Amino acid sequence: MVLATQSKPIELSPRRYRKGNYMFCPVKADRNYKCPECGCLVQPGEVGFTRFKIIHDLVTEPIGDVLHACCVEARE
């Protein structure tokens, strides 16, 4: 049996992603952002992830960028 490759887009999950010293939180972009991972533009109203730097275990600080959801979720 041959399995077809998945072609459906990545669905945004409400959960946060924690990677290394950063926390990624789902958000709808309020303006244009350049995704620091792939360099493409995140348009206003598009869903992406804001990135926060984890200072201590629970204290976070906003970085001020928005990443495409696929750039965050692909490397889970």
- With the C-alpha atoms ordered 64, 70, 75, 76, is the resulting torsion angle positive or negative? positive
Burial of 31: CB neighbours in 10 Å, binned 0-12, 13-18, 19+: exposed
Residue stretches of the chain with pLDDT short of 70: 1-14, 74-76
pLDDT on residue 11? 54
Count other C-beta atoms under 10 Å from residue 33's C-beta: 21
Q: Which distant-in-sequence residues (6+ apart) come within 8 Å of 72 by Cβ?
A: 17, 24, 37, 48, 49
- Which of 14, 16, 28, 76 is closest to 52 using CA atoms? 16
pLDDT on residue 20? 86
